[in-house]
Amino acid sequence: MSFEITGRHKAFEGETAYCRHASTETGTQMAFAVYTPPQAAEGEVPVVTYLAGLTCTEETFMIKAGAQRIAAELGVMLVAPDTSPRGLGLPGEDDDWDFGTGAGFYVDATQAPWDGHYRMASYVVEELPQVVAANFPADLGRASIMGHSMGGHGALVLGLRNAGRYRSISAFAPIANPMDCPWGHKAFGNYLGPDRADWAAWDATDLVRSGRAAWRGPPLLVDQGRADGFLDEQLKPKALQAACAATGTPFELHWRDGYDHGYFFISTFMEAHLRHHARALGLTA
């Protein structure tokens, strides 16, 4: 397995590294970023993985979210993968901003031509942690997951489907019910096929509502801006809220007046999310 660090940047006495490696899950080169806090000089540290949204790359979170300062204080490693395989030349891969390149939706595709490469769920849950741990002082036994928009969907679904791997889950403006929104219909229809029964395994609201994903950790934490232009048509956090209420799933939804969908919103509430994860990871009381 090839691995290289393509850039290093000191920040808050830790370091942000940009990395590339040959992925067995996607059959391509994959990129990711890691922030290693200063506490890692003394040994392994817990890991919070951040999944970005449509059109983003491994750089977006590290540049825009303002997370390194608080991660350095808490002693948590941040890992941010790219949002899809790239450069495959598949038919339609680069036709739209909300499907294909930059829009892997954190599922394992089952439909040709996507199924051989668009395996972002297995990449994030299985392969990426092992690559990180082989090259950085990461304590995989203490891990949490978070994300934004498409990545919020990814964090919720991958966290719920793999509850034994993650101690806490949070999301900013997630696509909370993709089976019931245009982004989800487009992605799931192409990646997973026409049978909606196959979609349900990748929908956080349906996973909770059906009882197929029982979460008994800290509350699923969601922040949502009321001025988000995607709120009503695409995001649907109230559906997830209702499913959690009906099943007794711990859930915490914060409505943020005046905030939209972008990184000004995310950076404003990033500290609260990282402190939420730090408590679950045993870093703070």
The Cβ of residue 75 has, within 10 Å, a number of other Cβ atoms equal to 18
Sheet (strand 169-172) strand order? 3-11, 14-22, 29-36, 77-81, 45-51, 138-148, 169-172, 220-225, 251-256
3-class secondary structure, 283 = coil
Find the catalytic residue in 148, 153, 261, 277: 261
Tokens representing 120 are 């972002």
Active site residue 149: yes
Asked whether the beta carbons of 180 and 202 are under 8 A apart, the reply is: no
Helix, strand, coil distribution of the chain in percent, nearest 5: 40, 25, 35
Residue 121 CB burial class (10 angstroms; 0-12, 13-18, ≥19): buried
Active site residue 228: yes
Find the catalytic residue in 84, 228, 276, 277: 228
Q: Please enumerate in sequence order all residues whose Cβ is within 8 A of that of 9, keeping only pairs 6 or more positions apart, or say none.
A: 15, 16, 17
Find the catalytic residue in 23, 84, 144, 149: 149
Active site residues: 149, 228, 261
